[in-house]
Homo-oligomer: A and B are copies of this chain.
Amino acid sequence: MISFESDYIAGAHPRLLRRLLETNLEPLSGYGSDPYCESARTKIRAACDAPEAEVIFLSGGTQTNALVISALLRPWQGVIAAETGHISTHEAGAIEHTGHKVLTLPQHLGKLDSGELERFVTGFYADGNHEHMVFPGMVYLSHPTEYGTLYSLSELESISRVCRANSMPLYLDGARLGYGLMSRETDVTLPDIARLCDAFYIGGTKVGALCGEAVVFPRRAPEHLLTTVKLHGALLAKGRLLGVQFDELFTDGLYFRISRHAIDCAEALKQILREKGCTFYLESPTNQQFLILDNAQLEALRREVAVSFWEKYDETHTVVRLATSWSTTQADLDRLREVLEAPPFLP
């Protein structure tokens, strides 16, 4: 049985585990004050071309989203997101749990449109009743989106422009940022993101770490971040766990190299799926691929290959996700090809 179920089916990239082992018995101070955290911060600032950036390490994506969003908003404000944004749909109300509304706009292949964003904000302030409404306080993007799609540089620039014109911080959820940056179809770099956003995170959990996300505030960070992290229950005593991993991920371009590997695997996967006549739900240039499968085929496939249920397509079809990652192997791809060459896929 092979698995394309997600990009978090394996543990950590072996180099990260090796470094955890090598540094394991060094006595270190806690709460992110150790030299590995500091070194990781320095390397991330360099990679972002953001020498003034504040960088903190958190454990997971929902935790990061709730913490950053509530730290950037004032009580009367909400966060704008696409209706398919992760914070809108699959975080169990973690944003609302901090007291803030998610203001949803239509999605276009998982993305916000800068024109619609601008009209929404302009319309808000033009509405005579707006003081009785939730103020648009910031904008949330995911990049890659939940559908594996990417903003182009000009799209990001347009959104950033609208945000700055309206004093709304722009926050980018980079749970799978490496896969976005290494896509063959992107013109967006990490320094672009640092330049255009006010906060973002570089996802580790889905890109080679056991756990961990590096949150970057390129210019100005919220005050008293350590206390904020503590009061969200998000401060790890052994900050080294995150520091050592990110330090290694940003050594010798490992983060980018393993992301590139996942993209290469995704391109090979797409090639196999196309050859076998599969129907794509949409075109994704990153590591997540979405297929429309006949339910009987899906059942058969699942006997050999783990994939993720995404959503019901119609009464007889289902949308499923296949994800590659740093841990995908050629053997996985070969086996998938074999499965698709046997009945009931090919008669």
Contacts and interface: CB of A to CB of B under 8 A. Distances in A.
Interface of A: 2-3, 5-6, 8-12, 14, 17, 20-21, 23-30, 59-67, 70-71, 74-76, 78, 89-94, 96-102, 126-129, 131-135, 205-206, 210-211, 223-224, 226-228, 230-238, 240-241, 306, 309, 311-312, 327
A127 to B, nearest CB: 8
A75 B24 contact: no
A317 to B, nearest CB: 15
Contacts of A76: 92-93, 223-224, 227-228, 231
A318 to B, nearest CB: 10
One complex includes copies of this chain to the number of 4
A92 B3 CA distance: 42
A137 to B, nearest CB: 10
A58 B21 CA distance: 22
Nearest to A206: B237
B90 A132 contact: yes
B101 A93 contact: yes
Contact of A205 (B97, B101, B128, B237): B237
A27 B5 contact: yes
Nearest to A71: B75
A102 B76 CA distance: 16
Given A25-B327, A233-B60, A228 B20 contact: no
Nearest to A309: B128
Contacts of A228: 75-76
A24 B17 contact: yes
A78 B93 contact: yes
Residue from A12, A66, A76 with most neighbouring chain B CB atoms (10 Å)? A76
